[in-house]
Amino acid sequence: MYLSKRFIIIFLYFILINLFGIFLYFLEYVDLLFCSDCKEIDSSEVFDYIVVGAGSAGSIIARRLGEDKTLKILLLEVGKYDNTLLDIPSVGLLLQKSVFDWQYVTTPQLASCLALDNNASHWPMGKIVGGTSMLNNMVYTRGHFEDFNEWFQRKKNYNYDTDVLPYFRKLESNRHETKSSVYIKDLIFTSILPDILLDAATSLGFRVSQDTTDCNIGFGMPKVTIHKGSRWTTAHHLLSLNKPNIFLRTNRFVEEVLFHNNYEAYGVKYSYWGKSFYAKASNGVILSAGTIGSPKLLMLSGIGPKDHLDDLNIPCKVNLPVGENLLDHVTTGLDLILLNQSLGIGIEQMLSPYSIFEYFWYGTGPWTTGGCEVLGFMDTQSPISSHSCSKRPDLQFMVMPLGLNEDGGTLIRRLMGISDYTWNNYFALLNQTKTMTILPVLLHPKSRGTVRLKDKCFKSSPIINPKYLSNKDDVEILIRGINVIKKLTGTDAMKKLGARLNDNIFPGCENFKFDSHFYWECYVRHLTITSYHPVGTNKMGEETDSTTVVDFNFQVKGTNNLFVVDASVLPTNPSGNINGPILMLAEVASDAIKYRDFLNRERCSIEEIFIAKNYC
């Protein structure tokens, strides 16, 4: 009886997600038909700034620079406009592998991702106004103050309390002030899991608090970027302001940055309806195209590793380590915990007409959920009893009331690229069991990868190789995380749900004794999943450091009037979800760029004091 009901629900779900997929195509054609954005940019018009990418960071930069009404800002985005239906939090997942997603796939990994098709990890990224924050899980964290000390350690007179904290406060609207960019709220709807899991964490000696924002250690419930039940991004905020001096143009694919004398950026070339156009900016070009998009654009424009550009016959203007230092948070542990009761959320609840009514009428209910209900942070190298807010974590837990098996393999496993063999021999076996997931997330990976161009064509996806788990220390921390998950599963609180460890042998790991150290190493190397936080490909730092691409003012070294502000400049991964720190940096960068403008004006017409150092 259970199976047949489940079968019907999954079938209905399958039909609905496919109908939604058709709807997304339809949206694309509506965009085409009604020419929602056909206003061409007058090529003789010179803007003060051009911002490339209307994602998380780009929307803030455009908004802040546009606060000076005398400045004209052009914001170019290759994606399309958002639609209110796409703001339903639970719909974020359905945007993956659609026209609103760049649909990146990494190269085959050597010692990781072995349970995935072609040993490759799937990386969704937003191609829409709002960028990747249109398809993220909306979890807002700040990270740990030591993360930023590490980034800015060589900046003169750096101080967290004056250089970073005020910018976080500026963002967190309902917590601090109203002139902020994002709404940060408590979860609106949860299953019965949070209370139980927080009890379990308490019994193991973890610090448990209501708010994980201020103290980045222990367990608590996340804050989410939500407003009136809907997804809220910095692009929503920008559009709500209705600023006449900020010109957002969609469907514009920026091909390259234009330079005078090979160092001074004066505009961009972009493609629109298959034709190339030019746009000029007198004060600067700011790239906010993301961890993949920004290094790609720099390299296409001749800024990057000389050897690589030579190989592609791209004349090298500035030799910089663009595309190096690719860092991501990796995770594992899907469906590792089996339960013998439902937690009150699942596709059955999602499909219920009442949930639909609740969402559209009250802005509440299961449709407002982004999936993650509890966060935990710990330092796996020291005893829990020694943890205080000043301790920097090396592992994060993201707790979800569901497992991969919930949708019967119709959607999520395809988005992640779980191979048929793994699916059939592991996840599908749980077709009559309730599962939940505690993801252990490696916060400070030592494995570093690269982003390289495939060819000179601006439309080609670059070659992404994160080299996951190439440093063995990364594996050890994930295994310590699994050991904590085992302890959480064994607590009395969790036992009440019938919680137990999934002891099915993971396909490919049959030669190892279940639960041995080597078994878990094998497991982690098979079930290596991105936590969707790639950063670092245009590392920010001191100018004299040969590993950096942009300086502390976000200027690309060896150039003038060219900036990068987005996830690519983060030198390392912060100790938590990364959107908060990216937005903070965008606020810092806005001030830095405004200040440079101010100095330039004061200096009147004194010509460039630029000295070309980094020529190829």
Ligand X SMILES: Cc1cc2nc3c(=O)[nH]c(=O)nc-3n(C[C@H](O)[C@H](O)[C@H](O)COP(=O)(O)OP(=O)(O)OC[C@H]3O[C@@H](n4cnc5c(N)ncnc54)[C@H](O)[C@@H]3O)c2cc1C
Q: Kindly list the residues in this chain that would bind ligand X in the complex (CB under 6 A).
A: 52-58, 76-79, 124-127, 131-133, 135-139, 252-254, 288-290, 293, 297, 532-533, 566-567, 577-580, 582
Selection from ligand NAG, ligand X, none that 55 binds (CB < 5 to 8 A by kind) is ligand X
494 near 488, Cβ under 8 Å?
A: yes
Pairing state between β 208-209 and 104-105 = unpaired
Q: Which residue in the shown chain puts its C-beta closest to ligand X?
A: 55
The binding site for ligand NAG (CB under 6 A) comprises: 108, 114, 118-119, 340, 428-429, 431, 498, 500
Q: Give the nearest distance from C-beta 442 to ligand NAG in angstroms.
A: 21
Q: Give the nearest distance from C-beta 108 to ligand NAG in angstroms.
A: 4
What is the DSSP code (8-state) at residue 207? Answer: -
Q: Give the nearest distance from C-beta 292 to ligand X in angstroms.
A: 8
Measured from the CB atom, the residue of 134 and 469 that comes closer to ligand X is 134
Measured from the CB atom, the residue of 74 and 509 that comes closer to ligand NAG is 509
What is the DSSP code (8-state) at residue 393? Answer: P
Measured from the CB atom, the residue of 434 and 533 that comes closer to ligand X is 533
Residue 369 is assigned to a ligand binding site: no
Q: Give the nearest distance from C-beta 114 to ligand NAG in angstroms.
A: 5
Pairing state between β 374-378 and 318-319 = unpaired
Q: Which phi and psi (to 5°) does residue 464 adopt? A: -110, 120
HSE, side-chain direction, 13 A CA sphere, residue 348: 12
Query: H helices within 251-305, ranges in order?
Result: 290-300
Measured from the CB atom, the residue of 372 and 499 that comes closer to ligand X is 372
Q: Give the nearest distance from C-beta 206 to ligand NAG in angstroms.
A: 23
Selection from ligand NAG, ligand X, none that 235 binds (CB < 5 to 8 A by kind) is none
- Tell me the residue length of the chain: 616
Selection from ligand X, ligand NAG, none that 340 binds (CB < 5 to 8 A by kind) is ligand NAG
Measured from the CB atom, the residue of 118 and 240 that comes closer to ligand NAG is 118
Is the four-CA dihedral 213, 216, 217, 221 of positive or negative sign?
A: positive
Q: Give the nearest distance from C-beta 340 to ligand NAG in angstroms.
A: 4
Cα–Cα distance, 298 to 213 (Å, whole number): 34
Measured from the CB atom, the residue of 292 and 493 that comes closer to ligand X is 292
Residue 137 is assigned to a ligand binding site: yes
Cα–Cα distance, 287 to 421 (Å, whole number): 41
118 near 108, Cβ under 8 Å?
A: yes
Selection from ligand X, ligand NAG, none that 289 binds (CB < 5 to 8 A by kind) is ligand X
Selection from ligand X, ligand NAG, none that 431 binds (CB < 5 to 8 A by kind) is ligand NAG
Q: Give the nearest distance from C-beta 265 to ligand NAG in angstroms.
A: 40
For residue 335, give every residue at least 6 positions away whose Cβ sits within 8 Å of its Cβ, in sequence order, or none. Answer: 403, 404, 405, 426, 427, 430, 435, 437, 502
Residue 132 is assigned to a ligand binding site: yes
For 194-199, the CB contacts below 8 A with 24+ separation are 194/221, 194/373, 194/374, 194/399, 196/493, 196/494, 196/496, 196/497, 197/373, 197/374, 197/399, 197/488, 197/493, 197/494, 198/374, 199/491, 199/493
Which residues on neighbouring strands pair with residue 540, listed in sequence order?
Answer: 550
Selection from ligand X, ligand NAG, none that 53 binds (CB < 5 to 8 A by kind) is ligand X
Residue 550 is assigned to a ligand binding site: no
Specify the residue for token string 């710990």.
378
Q: Give the nearest distance from C-beta 15 to ligand NAG in angstroms.
A: 18
Cα–Cα distance, 273 to 141 (Å, whole number): 39
Measured from the CB atom, the residue of 116 and 375 that comes closer to ligand NAG is 116
375 near 219, Cβ under 8 Å?
A: yes
One-letter amino acid identity for 331? T
Selection from ligand NAG, ligand X, none that 288 binds (CB < 5 to 8 A by kind) is ligand X
Residue 254 is assigned to a ligand binding site: yes
Q: Give the nearest distance from C-beta 466 to ligand NAG in angstroms.
A: 15
Selection from ligand NAG, ligand X, none that 132 binds (CB < 5 to 8 A by kind) is ligand X
Measured from the CB atom, the residue of 114 and 292 that comes closer to ligand NAG is 114
Selection from ligand X, ligand NAG, none that 237 binds (CB < 5 to 8 A by kind) is none
Q: Give the nearest distance from C-beta 200 to ligand NAG in angstroms.
A: 15
Measured from the CB atom, the residue of 395 and 493 that comes closer to ligand X is 395
Please return the burial class of 219, using the count of CB atoms within 10 Å of its CB with bins 0-12, 13-18 and 19+.
buried
Measured from the CB atom, the residue of 62 and 499 that comes closer to ligand NAG is 499
Look at phi and psi of residue 261 and say left if phi exceeds 0, alpha if psi is from -120 to 50, else beta: left
Residue 136 is assigned to a ligand binding site: yes
Cα–Cα distance, 195 to 262 (Å, whole number): 59
HSE, side-chain direction, 13 A CA sphere, residue 230: 15
Selection from ligand NAG, ligand X, none that 119 binds (CB < 5 to 8 A by kind) is ligand NAG
- Write out the binding residues for FAD: 132, 136-139, 254
- Write out the binding residues: 132, 136-139, 254
